[in-house]
């Protein structure tokens, strides 16, 4: 009798542990997704509507409606909350990942700039799944947004279908920093473009015209070591302060086109990796 009781107890404990493991794993995935969503990827910088002061409107996280207008397009950030009628609540996980990494909606239409599709193709499989988990956890908001309009032709595709994308190890600081620079769209904003397509030979060289909040335009800065006053020549402490507060070492304030309201949650090791990578960029005079 006692032996049978012990066997049943051990079996019950084993089942409990096995049941707890997927929950624990799911928690880790969501934690990573929230870190990305509310940090380096900063989806809310475009997809959360902002008030006249350029700050995100409370209660409207990722509800869309932000207008980004330059001479070649008028882009309206869509609602990416889980609302089934006006957001992405009816999309499958695979469809969400395809829209992020390949720029293709479930209906087959192509997503145009300024969505940094060419950079998001580098998003690893595990981070893509984590982002989906975080997006699923956002409060649904009913908000129908207008369609974007373009005066430039959109490509039929941004490349072949994205296959498996492995994680980049944080142990390789420079390579991981490059990964963060891609998914954080640093290079998307800070690389000059020609009719919406990045000039990759001038990677990080700045000079791209971007909308500033609440109105007007701003030219992105040169992030390469070719800029004597740029981030590649700042100390680690100066870089972190600017990323988290929007205040440059010289005291000048950055406009809220820069996502420092989100970047302030990036941890020290990731910011160190990002800076290490930026210091390796080919110097560009601009």
What's the token pair of residue 26?
């799911």
With 90 as the cut, is the pLDDT of residue 72 above it? no
Distance CA 181, CA 122 (A): 10
* Multiple choice CATH, 168-286, 1.10.10, 1.10.760, 2.60.40, 2.40.10: 1.10.760
Could you say which DSSP state residue 253 is in?
A: B
Identify the band that residue 169 occupies on the pLDDT scale cut at 50, 70 and 90.
very high
pLDDT in tens, 191-238: 998 876 788 899 999 988 887 765 678 889 999 999 999 999 999 999
Distance CA 223, CA 233 (A): 10
Average confidence score pLDDT of the chain:
89
Report pTM: 0.88
Three-state SS at 156: coil
Distance CA 263, CA 244 (A): 6
Report how far apart, in Å, the C-alpha atoms of 155 and of each of 70, 118, 131, 159, 195 are. Answer: 18, 12, 25, 9, 12
Distance CA 136, CA 11 (A): 34
Task: List the domain boundaries for the chain.
Answer: 29-167, 168-286
Query: What pLDDT score does 195 carry?
Result: 73
Cα angle, residue 134 at apex, residues 47 and 59 outer, rounded to 5°: 50
Could you say which DSSP state residue 190 is in?
A: S
């Amino acid at each position: 009798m006692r032996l049978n009781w012990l066997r049943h107890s051990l079996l019950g404990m084993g089942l409990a542990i096995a049941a707890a493991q997927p929950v624990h794993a799911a928690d880790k995935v969501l934690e990573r997704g929230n870190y990305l969503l509310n940090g380096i990827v900063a989806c809310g910088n475009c997809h959360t509507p902002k008030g006249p002061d350029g700050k995100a409107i409370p209660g409207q996280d990722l509800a869309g409606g932000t207008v980004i207008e330059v001479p070649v397009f008028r882009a309206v950030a869509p609602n990416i909350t889980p609302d089934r009628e006006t957001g992405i609540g009816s999309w499958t996980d695979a469809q969400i990942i395809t829209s992020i990494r390949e720029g293709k909606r479930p209906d087959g239409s192509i997503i145009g700039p300024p969505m940094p599709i060419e950079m998001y193709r580098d998003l690893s499989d595990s981070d893509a799944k984590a982002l989906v988990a975080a997006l699923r956890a956002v409060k649904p908001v009913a908000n129908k947004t207008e369609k974007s309009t373009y005066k430039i032709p959109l490509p039929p595709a941004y490349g072949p279908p994205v296959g498996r994308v492995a994680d980049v190890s944080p142990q390789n600081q420079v390579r991981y920093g490059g990964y963060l620079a891609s998914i954080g769209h640093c290079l998307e904003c800070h690389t000059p473009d020609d009719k919406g397509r990045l000039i990759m030979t001038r990677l990080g060289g700045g000079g791209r015209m971007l909308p500033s909040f609440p109105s007007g335009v701003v030219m992105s800065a040169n992030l390469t070591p070719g800029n004597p006053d740029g981030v590649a020549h700042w100390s680690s402490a100066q870089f972190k302060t600017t990323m988290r507060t929007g205040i440059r070492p010289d005291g000048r304030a950055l406009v809220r086109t820069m996502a420092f309201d989100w970047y302030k949650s990036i941890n020290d090791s990731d910011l160190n990796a990002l800076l290490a990578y930026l210091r390796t960029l080919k110097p560009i005079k601009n």
